[in-house]
Every structure is written in C-alpha cells, then in structure tokens.
Amino acid sequence: MKLVDYSINNFLEELASKSPAPGGGSVSALAGANAASLVQMVANLTVNKKKFKTLSENIQKLYVDETKAFKNANEQFIKYIDEDTLAFNKVMAAFKMPKTTEEEIAKRKEAIEKATIDSIKVPLEVAKLSLKMMEKMDLIIENSNKNTISDQGVSILLFHTACIGGVLNVKINLSGLSQKKLVSEYKNVIIDIENKINKLKIDLLERINNLLN
C-alpha cells in the first residue's frame, strides 16, 4: 500500500514507528503537497470573484496559468512522498548485500553508490520544486482574495520547510557518496537553493505581515 493512500492517522502512526522510513524526506514532500494544495484553495477562492474580474485580462490569464503550475507541482510532491521512502529502502537493501568474497564486496559497493545517488535525487527534486513554487508566490500575494492572506503565509512557510527539508536530506545522503566531484557539485546546488529560499521566505513573509497589520 502506498503511503499516499494511508489515512492521516495511519500515516502518522507509521511515521512515529520504529521504522526509519517514512522519515524526513517523505514529510518534506508532504509539506510541499500541503503548500501547493493551499495555494490551489486560495486560487479557487479568488478566480471569478468580482475583484478578480477587475484585473487586466493578461493578469487573469497569468494567474490561472500559474494556478495550474501549483496543481502540477502538487501531483509531483505526492509522487515524491513514496519515492523518497522507496529510495531509502533501496539504500538499506544495498547495505544488506553479502560481503564475503571480493566480488560480493565490489558488487555491494557499487549498489550502495547507485542507491545513494538515487536517494539524493528525490529530496533534491523536492527542494528544487519548492523553490520554483515559492518564486511564483509574489503573483499569488499580489492578486489573490485578501481573506486568504494567512493561508498564503502558511503556504510560504510550508514551501520553505519542504525545500530546506529536501536540502537536509541531500546533505545527509552526500555523506555516503564516494565520488568527491559529484559531492562538490551537489553541495554547490543546494547552497544556491538554500540561499534563494531563505531570502524569499523573509521577503514574502514581510509582505504577508504588512498586509495583515
């Protein structure tokens, strides 16, 4: 049974269990899905309202198009919830491979390296997608129903959590990677993502708080 098919209670019970997966990676993806869903709610409470129809046709079209982007992102985040746990399980399976002969040791090492790279890809995609969606929040704040300002703020916080959660999971998985050049490349990518998302969070929340005060 997929994690996304669990009830909320069952998912939380599984999360709280002794099993190391699902863990922070899947939860980060879930945070992204929650954020994207909230933005869709905001859009549904905005589009076709009187005030929305006073906006220029170009802005209305852009807003609707961006809303579709959040829907697509939501579907991706949902997919990553299970993919992260599956990737982690493959790493664990690789570590359990036999290591008696030199051939077995070599195969095990290769399998661990491949599984580790795969386990980096999912949280990295979560981080990248979260940043991409965060970059679209300016348009949402500017043109959405003002009664949903607090919901927009929660979306921003959740996208930030999803992004930094993804970054942290990349970092911990990098420790198991032997290819130093690849490690360096990944580190440069996540440093850039982290810097951008942190600045966006500060700027966007300042706008949200100004609108609430």
Q: Which of 29, 3, 23 is nearest to 158 (CA)?
A: 29
In tens digits, the chain (213 residues) has pLDDT values of 789 889 999 999 999 999 888 999 999 999 999 999 999 999 999 998 999 999 999 999 999 999 999 999 999 999 999 999 999 899 999 999 999 999 999 999 999 999 999 999 999 999 999 999 999 999 999 999 999 999 999 999 999 999 999 999 999 999 888 899 999 999 999 999 999 999 999 999 999 999 998
Q: How far apart are CA 144 and CA 211, in angstroms?
A: 12
What is the pLDDT at residue 9? 94
DSSP conformational letter for 56: -
Residue-level pLDDT at 176: 85
Rounded to 5 degrees, φ, ψ at 17 are -75, 180
174 near 186, Cβ under 8 Å?
yes
Q: How many CB atoms lie within 10 A of CB 76?
A: 17
Helices 102-134 and 180-212: crossing angle in degrees, nearest 10, is 30
The CA radius of gyration of the chain, in Å to the nearest whole number, is: 20
Is 10 in contact with 58 (CB distance < 8 Å)? Answer: no
Domains and CATH numbers, the chain: 23-212 (1.20.120.680)
C-alpha distance from residue 185 to each of 10, 81, 119, 162, 180 (Å) = 38, 25, 16, 21, 9
Q: Residue 59 and residue 136: Cα distance in Å, rounded?
A: 13
Are residues 42 and 143 in contact, defined by beta-carbon separation less than 8 angstroms?
no
What confidence score (pLDDT) does residue 19 get?
87
Angle between the N-to-C axes of helices 149-174 and 180-212, in degrees from 0 to 180, rounded to the nearest 10: 160
Predicted local distance difference test score (pLDDT) of residue 1? 79
pLDDT of 165: 98
Q: What is the pLDDT of residue 21?
A: 82
